A and B are shown apart, each in its own frame.
Chain A
Amino acid sequence: MESAPARLRFPLHIAVFLAPALIVYSLFSIYPIVDTIRLSFYVGDQEGARHFAGLANFRTLLTDPAWSAQFWNALRNNLIFFAIHMVVQNGIGLGLAMLLSLPHLAGGSIYRTLIFLPTMLSVVIVGFIWQLILNPLWGIAPSLLKAVGLGSYFGPWLGQEATALIAISLISVWQFVGIPMMLIYAALINIPDDLLDAATVDGAGPFSVFWFVRLPLILPTLGVVSILTFVANFNAFDLIYAVKGALAGPNFSTDILGTFFYRTFFGYQLQVGSPTMGATVATAMLVVILIGVLIYLFGVQRRLQRHAF
């Protein structure tokens, strides 16, 4: 009988410990998102007053050809941008992590630092440097290619519709390849040597060890890397804005949801920005990211088995 009131008492300390994160997160993350969604149901008139319009903005975005063509184009470019990151960035990241985790690698920490270094540079600087390198007039890329007899393969890659998006994606890959590398590397060195030794004793070659022992053990990390890449890519904006501007030329071939959102919300040159349409694009971006994250959570995350060592 005596212990009952004690059990029912509200666990105040939990609330106290949760409060700072909860307050900050609600104020600066949840509230703006909710407010953005609210704003997307309004239309603004010439005087700047706003009226409730239900789903009209979303109908415009998805059915008006002037908007929907840009929206689907941006979404498609975003998917390409993401696919290149998944394949090239995470593939190279995995390969580099494998190499770094080789037991007798000399100077491993130097490589690690060097490869990780670009992630800490400002995107604006990365964009600027690569524009200089690839510049057809003064860049070193054309002269380097000429020096090895491949000069005729050089093209103004950042200026052609067929190549601009790929070129920018690869610049971004160059900058951020250090992040998957570090995460995967950390997972790899966490694998106990006993497991690897046991596999070797059982007669597994290096390839089998990788395929049947290491890879399954780092799958959860690969999952985290994928979802981080997904969210970062669908929020991307800065590199394309720095290199191609908000019109994401040529002919919107580098336009992704981020630049589309910027153009809509803030306007560009003579185009006057529309906060309500911008909020609609932002909400659409949120939905796309949510769908992706949900697919990951229910399709991938729940099937992964965590291994305790």
Chain B
Amino acid sequence: MNRVESKVFLSRAGRLLAAVSIAASALAFAQVATAQTLTIESWRNDDADVWNNQIIPAFNKKYPNIKVQFKADPPTEYNAALNARLAGGTAGDLITCRPFDASLDLFKKGHLVAVNDVKGIENFSDVARSAWSTDDGKTTFCMPMASVIHGFIYNKAVFDELKLTPPKTMAEFHAVLDKIKADGKYTPIAMGTADQWEAATMGFQNIGVNYWKGEEGRKALIEGKQKFTDPAYVEVFKELASWAPYMGDGYKSQKYPDTQNLFTLGRAAIYPAGSWDIPIFRKQADFEFDAFAPPVPDASGKCYISDHTDIALGINAKSKNIEAAKTFLSWIASSEFADIYANALPGFFPLSKEKVTVKDPVAAKFVGWRGTCESSIRNSYQILSRGTPNLENELWNVSAQVINGTMKPEEAAKKVEDGLASWYEPHKK
């Protein structure tokens, strides 16, 4: 090859290379176009790793043609961001559903499709489906994924050191608290009121089910047969008010992450918990921790737990990949998913009827209470938070105030009842 020839060759080779690369990229493009991509909208930004490393790969083993992306917003911004994206038509294909009205509202506005015909929905009980069904129970619009259970997590080392046993009744609970306080080394109860929701969720709803007898009381409230001014509810507020002296210095401006740190650093003995705290504690605490169920007011009765339907997955009505999304949902309903989810995120308990073994011992303990106590959900979630003032937000406010000592238990009960009676017919009488 002389110089000229080699130049020609090179330029030919260059052209060929260019042609090949164009063809290759076109091919790649075609491949992308045939594979469907589903995007999941979620508020669980903590779970991104679990979705990307465990759940989605497991799904792709069975369905390699459906690509799945997990996109999460911070929990407090999720509703606002999702609503804006749904209205603007830019939301993802799969929508993580909050329980009850927030999702019901999306369904009524036509943002979610009914999932009654999706294979696997029969794996869920009516109670599990109730959080994502219309009021008449006929249409379900999200596939239930998991519930969270309330209880108390305690530092085993502290309990051993002070020779304490986990309390079963409220009297025992207070005896334990007094002993920890008398010892003086540890904060008896790790909780703060700055974020307000902890006081209601970890306090009021956690211990409350034992006072209003779970579903019985919850339904009576909805029917208007019970009022928040009834003794059962006032008692819960009174109990909450009695926690203040056992909480940390400056608990009034202690936020949720402060509370978690206080416990995982071993400076507090008892942590009023949601089971979703377990994975975080597993990572951060270097001592052994265990859990006890919410203590009962008197030992003779039954026990109840707040086993709250929390998270589900629905389909964006404007999605271009509805069939693929349905495939994904029916996989969500399978025991395979339940098993991965329950063990990747101990503390989120699958709602399906399939048997799942939870390997984390503390999570297993929480879910074990389903066998000994009766399950109920938070009483402000179904129907009662539809009006203004919003019952859930009111409960946050008064629960925090009762613990802060700026409101008496009776006043708190009256404020919540008055708020509810101002818009909810069954409570107007």
Interface residues of A (CB under 8 A from B): 46-48, 64-67, 131, 134-138, 142, 154-161, 244-247, 249-252, 266-273
Q: Take A159-B254, A249-B196, A270-B392 as given contacts and tell me if A48 and B397 are in contact as well, using a CB distance cutoff of 8 Å.
A: no
Contact of B193 (CB < 8 Å), options: A65, A66, A159, A266: A159
Q: Give the residue name and chain of the B residue nearest to A277 (CB).
A: B388
Query: Which of A138, A159, A270 neighbours the largest number of chain B CB atoms within 10 Å of its CB?
Result: A270
- Given A48-B108, A250-B400, A270-B391: 17 more A-B contacts, CB < 8 Å: A46-B105, A48-B109, A66-B389, A136-B249, A156-B250, A159-B404, A245-B195, A249-B397, A250-B193, A250-B196, A251-B401, A251-B406, A252-B397, A267-B102, A269-B79, A269-B197, A269-B393
**A65 (CB) vs chain B CBs: closest residue:** B422
Given contacts A66-B389, A137-B258, A161-B406, is CB(A47)–CB(B110) below 8 Å?
Answer: yes
B100 at interface by CB-CB < 8 Å: yes
Q: Which chain A residue lies CB-closest to B77? A: A266
Chain B, interface residues (CB within 8 Å), range: 35 or more
Q: Which residue of A lies closest to B76 (CB)?
A: A245
Using a CB–CB cutoff of 8 Å, the interface residues on chain B facing chain A are 76, 79-80, 83, 100-102, 105, 108-110, 192-197, 248-255, 258, 261-262, 380-381, 385, 388-393, 396-397, 400-401, 404, 406-407, 419, 422-423
Q: Which residues of A contact B100 (CB under 8 A)?
A: 270
Give CA–CA (A142, B83) in the complex, Å. Answer: 42
**Bound form: Cα–Cα A251–B390 in Å:** 14
- CA A158 to CA B406, docked complex, whole Å: 15
Q: Are A137 and B249 in contact (CB under 8 A)?
A: yes
Instruction: Please determine whether A66 and B388 come into contact, CB atoms closer than 8 angstroms.
Output: yes
Question: Which residue of A138, A142, A270 is within 8 Å of B102 (Cβ)?
Answer: A270
Q: Which among A66, A252, A269, A272 is the interface contact of B422 at CB below 8 angstroms?
A: A66
Contact B385 A271 (CB under 8 A): yes
Q: Among B76, B109, B391, which residue has its beta carbon within 8 angstroms of that of A246?
A: B76
Is the Cβ of A266 less than 8 Å from the Cβ of B254?
no
CA distance A249 to B397 in the complex (A): 8
Tell me the nearest residue of chain B to A48, going by C-beta.
Answer: B109
Given the interface pairs A47-B110, A247-B397, A249-B400, the reply to whether A160 lies near B385 with Cβ below 8 Å is no
CB of B425 to closest CB in A, whole Å = 16
Given A271-B392, A273-B79, answer yes or no on A136-B108 (Cβ-Cβ < 8 Å).
Answer: no
User: Which of A66, A156, A250, A270 interacts with B385 by CB under 8 Å?
Assistant: A270
17 A-B residue pairings within 8 Å (CB atoms): A47-B108, A66-B422, A131-B255, A137-B258, A142-B250, A156-B250, A160-B252, A244-B194, A247-B393, A250-B252, A251-B397, A267-B79, A267-B102, A268-B390, A270-B101, A270-B391, A273-B83
Contact between A46 and B108, CB atoms less than 8 A apart: yes
The contact of A270 among B251, B380, B406, B407, by CB within 8 Å, is B380
Smallest Cβ distance from B47 to chain A, in angstroms? 19
Task: State how many angstroms separate the Cβ of B200 from the closest Cβ of chain A.
Answer: 10
Q: Which residues of B contact A66 (CB under 8 A)?
A: 388-389, 419, 422-423
* A contacts with B: majority SS: loop
- Whole-angstrom distance between the Cβ of B121 and the nearest chain A Cβ: 24
> Do A159 and B252 have beta carbons less than 8 Å apart?
yes
Closest Cβ of chain B to A136, distance in Å, is: 2
Contact A158 B194 (CB under 8 A): yes
Q: Which residue of B lies closest to A131 (CB)?
A: B255
Chain A residues, CB < 8 A from B249: 136-137
A141 to chain B, nearest CB (A): 10
CB of A27, distance to nearest CB on chain B (Å) = 18
CB-CB nearest in chain A for B380: A270
Q: With both chains docked as a complex, state the minimum distance between the C-beta of B221 and any C-beta of chain A, in angstroms.
A: 15
List the B side residues contacting A48 at CB < 8 Å. 108-110
Give every chain A residue within 8 A of B396 (Cβ-Cβ).
Answer: 247, 249, 269
Q: Are A67 and B250 in contact (CB under 8 A)?
A: no
Cβ contact within 8 Å between A67 and B388: yes
Top-10 shortest CB links A-B:
A136-B250, A159-B253, A159-B252, A156-B253, A266-B80, A156-B250, A271-B390, A270-B392, A48-B109, A270-B385
Beta-carbon nearest neighbor of B422 in chain A: A66
Q: Which chain A residue lies CB-closest to B81?
A: A266
Least distance between A246 CB and chain B CB atoms (Å): 7
In angstroms, how far is the closest chain B Cβ from the Cβ of A45?
9
> Chain B residues with Cβ under 8 A from A250's Cβ?
193-194, 196, 252, 397, 400-401, 404, 406
Known A48-B109, A156-B254: A268·B401 in contact at CB below 8 Å: no
Set of chain A residues within 8 Å of B108, measured between Cβ atoms: 46-48
